[in-house]
Structure 1
Amino acid sequence: MTTRTGPQTYPGASQAHRYQGKFGGDDMEVNVVVLHTTEGRTLPDYGGGASAPTLTCVPDFAARRLKWWQHFDIDTSARALLNLAGGVETNTNNVCQLEMVGTCDPATRAKWLKAGLVQDKDFIYWPQAPDWALRDVAEFLAWMHTKHSVPLSGPSKWPAYPTSYANGGGQRMNDAAWNAFRGVCGHMHVDENSHGDPGALDFAKLLAFAKEAAGAPSTPVVEAKYEPFPGAAWFRKNPRSAIVTALGKRLVAVGCSAYEDGPGPQWTEADRKSYARWQRKLGYTGAAADGWPGATSWAALKVPNV
């Protein structure tokens, strides 16, 4: 099999954190890009490189660009995927891996916001990534398409985290699908793995930007309209957020208000009682209509993006 036929370094990527000399790797002919999120705000150490991807991109908010670090050659296997003994190959299955600094976890987003951090200024929440960040990732995908023939296509299912963990959204490939796959996917799709990143990434928009950058035909980009489900545990922490206000306004709009005042940004018993009315309106009963939001009822409510 022919290997390493394209350029091996991504233009502009820093080579200051290379791990190939320490860990080696297998020669490949890449035909897949796997997208990860680091779940942090800075360039990781990756255990000294023991779990490093091919590249990492870190947001430079002042410049509204991503900074790039390359850890392995494009056609050399990286180390960020789980690979079980006796099963399919993962890291060495012609895969280039990109870690995107930021989070896909609504609970992490909520924690950072509560700590006073500002989304798109101090961190990226990748399901709501700003266009400049998506375009920089798209430029990389376009380069991988033109220089390494990676198809600008991928799975249709990109469920939100934590539904995406393991195979909660039915998105993960089995052995045969993984071995046959060519294109762009998330860690959430890779066989033998359980991680759910990068969550509800706007993959349609990302591909549209990539095709535009590559000069390929694209489809119109549709802006995301609705707020991703922040997770059941988030509400039990009595959050204060614009998301709560948007939720309350939707509950009023659908005739499920139990508010005497508001709604407002602080989660209160009035929000829970209002949401319970919404759950009963959907046909839920008993403990399933206790007022604590779940992913299915949240999606049905269509809370606008904030």
Structure 2
Amino acid sequence: MKTENQTFGAEFILLGFFQYGQMNTVLFVTIAGLFSVTLMGNIILIHVIRLDTLLHTPMYFLLSQLSFIDMMYISTTVPKMAANFLSNSKTITFLGCEIQTFVVLTLGGTEALLLGFMSYDRYVVICHPSHYPVLMSKTICLSMVTCAWASSSINALIHTLHVFQLPFCTSRIINHFFCEVPSLMPLVCQDTSQYEFTVLFSGLIILLLPFMAILASYARVLVAVYQMSSGKGQTKAISTCSSHLIVASLFYGTTLSTYTRPHSLHYPEEDKVVAVFYSIIIPLLNPFIYSLRNKEVMGAMRRVLGKWIFVQK
């Protein structure tokens, strides 16, 4: 097949989730509604954590970082997807696609590592409560967040620079609703098997290792919980950890499915459905899972709302 030189003036065509037909307006309203609810939910959670001093702990600092990542993630993919519902042009520039790929990889990697650090926080507070102030000090907590952002950014930069210097075929049609590495591989006019191995390797490091750490941490937590004499303590610990485990299972399950399979086992329609989960559904569910199932967050919301109503009066 013919190849085309990569230039910043070139464009890709995003086919989108499916052929929209007469449903463009309905789909636009639906996606815009989900986007608004996601932003509102995560913004509220971040502000509640910031305003309520009882939530100024490492756990909720990490949770506020997770909410920030989710807002960035959905803001990177959904606006372009929603705009395509109403636009005759489904194009995205070469540079725009490159930036979107880098940001998606960075945010996805950061969330994967952050979820692992959050499970470590729960492990320490339940299994080693007397050592918690030392093992989860402010310095260590900030180091965790910095490490997650820095390592994910470096990994994303390496993959983005490599992918976009590959020879793309003349056809620039991306059978997806946003730019990411697996959706770009079918457009490459050379053997990518060696590169796919590096994608698999980095996926195992950034996605599978934190997930295995979460499972190991919660196995220890489960043993510690059942050794507790307080039924109330058991309920609180299980409620907190189960919320995190639900989020982690959804996120790692879908991202591992996308980034650890060889190109030959990828099917565009299936990939798009899976991508909806980690790009739209999970950012939407996270603030509600962590707030509605968490008595401390719900109590903080009532206190913040009570103060706001009192000030208004």
TM-score (normalizing by structure 1): 0.24
TM-score (normalizing by structure 2): 0.24
More strand by share: 1
